[in-house]
A and B are shown apart, each in its own frame.
Chain A
Amino acid sequence: MTNAPKAATGLETALAARAQSLPPVRALAFETFQRLGFPHRRVEGWRWTDFRAALQDIAPAPAPLHEIAPPLAGDLAGLKPVELRIVNGRIDVPANAFPKGVQYGIVDAVGTIPDLETHALAALNVAMSKKALGVEIGAGVDFAQPIVIRHINTGAGFSFAQSLMRLCEGASATIIETFEGEGAGFYSHLFHLVLKEGASLHRHVIHETGAGAVVQSICAAKVEGGAAFNQASLSLGARLARHETHVHYVAGGAKAEIASAALLAGERHSDFTSEVLHIGDACTTRQRHKGVVKDKGRNVFQGKFRVMKSAQKTDARMNADALLLSETAETDHKPELEIYADDVQCAHGSTAGALDAEAIFYMRQRGLTDEAARALLIEAFVGGVFDQIAHPGIAQAFHTRIVRWLEDA
């Protein structure tokens, strides 16, 4: 798709200034970005998440570099995690010795992702990121201590970061990524994940930034034979908040569970977009999304399963459900199946509706107030989506945030 030529915005000019004298791979990525421009609503896949419009008001300067991170939320700190931070794009790792079985540090960023040629924001991230946060879990290591990666954004302006995580053969780990801070800037994060044969990762994402933030994160996971990728994401939305997940099953017998929920009030927006590419055979994919939208919130879900000819015996299911709590709330779902193999089981479902008035009356007849009945029903609607979270402390952290949102909303 081509865009009509247009004058560069202040942000684009500022980015171009920073792209002077880049090394060749990153320079090439910047050219790709310039060719594509910021995605907007007339670009396939970005119809409901218009970055060009949202970025108009972003200050055309880098975010302040030396901000002090606020302390980690008490309940997450209580999990005694390894805490890694990316503050306004600056990577900050603790200086103390590594716990056994894990290594982390600042490494060179990578220059490519699978659909770099067509993904403007991924290309921009590659162009702008020099260093990355690197984490590696050794072969066969069952690293039980949660690893928290905090994406903290304060103030205005733009920032970019990358993370690279590798779980060696048979390793397992639990990570929690938080997107936090009251900043009203643009933050882009690109996460390369490799799960070697038989590895198992539980990834949790909690997005609770201020309402003015424009956030874009891409997680590209390469999942090898027999590995298991388990992801649970909760988003409270932002000015724009797009969390992409790209899973590539490169070999057979692997599994992915991908669960997400968006709780949106005010004018907050959340976009969960994903693509699961089945190349290896006999892989199992379960994906669920729940959106609860009130006021002028907007919930976007785009899920795609691609099943290549080699991926026989694939078993893949996707469900997206939304609860609309006001006339002005909006939900947009695009579930897609693209199947080239013939011996597979693939299905998707999508629903959108309001709270059941009959259930509310029933509960009020038993003594619950209207608000209490609604809150219980909303909690019930969202609750089950995160049943897969194995770590009780993390399950509690998700539950606490859902309940807090219900009380505030």
Chain B
Amino acid sequence: MLKIDNLHVSVGGHEILKGLTLAVPAGEVHAIMGPNGSGKSTLSYAVAGRENYEASEGSVTLNGENILGLDPNERAAKGLFLSFQHPMEIPGVATMNFIRTALNAQKRARGEAEVSAADFLKLIRAKAKIVGLSDEKLKRPFNVGFSGGEKKRMEMLQMAILEPAFAIMDETDSGLDIDALKMVGDVVNSLRGQKGNKKAPGFLVITHYQRLLDYIKPDRVHVLAAGRIVKSGGPELATELEKSGYDKFVEAA
């Protein structure tokens, strides 16, 4: 379970998150919707531990453990995964080598056995099939020359391989066609366990649009405006937002 309590984050001297409180129980999918500039990406960076996005107040716990003092890689080893809104191209870094290094770094940090090169090859081939990335793409330097959609597939590939305890998906749906949206839904639904199972992963899906939520049924929907959650509800809230926009919530904030 990811629990965020009264989180305040300033970036470049401006307070972006102003006391955000949110809890996503194990096995649940929550969606965050909100207008541009409401603090959605700041929230994902602050939880993942990016430099210059430190909390000035409040707490974030993952399965009861405070993660705010941890390095980004320590948070990752605890099972936190961020699907980036704008994934990086990393020229010169071989894709498979990078993902295997990441997986084994996490396993080492958790005191688990590392995955052999042969087993990893089997694993990545199987998952690449699900996300729709060819062998040729896996042999390229990381994300180099990939389209926006392919980069999102690469995010989903890593999520499928790393099997996080909690994933934040920052506008994973932007730039995706219907087939790709369905693929994202498949990956999330394959990882999603039983509700109420304390070991099942949770998901926080940041999106502008209702359409991804057709493929990933959220348990709860939250509206983020001006650095706070201003409204929470069931899946029907997303439909309502799609129809009437954020205006009334922004005014309320």
Residues of A within 8 A of B (CB): 356-359, 361-370, 372, 376-377, 379-381, 383-384
Contact = CB atoms under 8 A, between A and B. Distances in A.
Given A361-B51, A380-B93, A384-B92, A370 B73 contact: yes
Contact of A368 (B50, B73, B75, B82): B73
B102 A363 contact: yes
Interface string B83-106: 010011011110000110111011
A369 B102 CA distance: 9
Given A361-B50, A365-B48, A365-B76, A370 B71 contact: yes
Interface in B2-24: none
B238 interface: no
Given A376-B93, A380-B92, A366 B51 contact: no
A187 B5 CA distance: 66
B77 interface: yes
Given A365-B48, A376-B98, A376-B101, A359 B88 contact: yes
Nearest to A381: B92
A367 B73 contact: yes
B97 to A, nearest CB: 8
Nearest to B52: A357
B126 interface: no
B162 A367 contact: yes
B72 A365 contact: yes
A372 B50 CA distance: 17
A370 B90 CA distance: 16
Contact of A367 (B49, B88, B91, B102): B102
A383 B90 CA distance: 13
B158 interface: yes
Interface in B147-171: 158, 162
Contacts of B141: 380
B90 A364 contact: no
21 contacts: A359-B88, A362-B84, A362-B90, A363-B90, A363-B98, A365-B49, A365-B73, A366-B76, A366-B158, A367-B73, A367-B76, A367-B105, A367-B106, A368-B73, A368-B101, A368-B105, A372-B101, A376-B101, A377-B92, A380-B90, A381-B92
B93 A358 contact: no
Given A364-B76, A365-B48, A368-B105, A383 B92 contact: yes
B109 interface: yes
A377 B94 CA distance: 11
A194 B75 CA distance: 59
B88 A358 contact: yes
Contacts of A359: 88, 90
Nearest to A380: B92
Given A359-B88, A368-B73, 7 more contacts: A365-B49, A365-B82, A366-B98, A366-B105, A367-B73, A367-B77, A367-B109
Contacts of B81: 365
Contacts of A381: 92
Nearest to B161: A366
A248 to B, nearest CB: 33
A363 B106 CA distance: 12
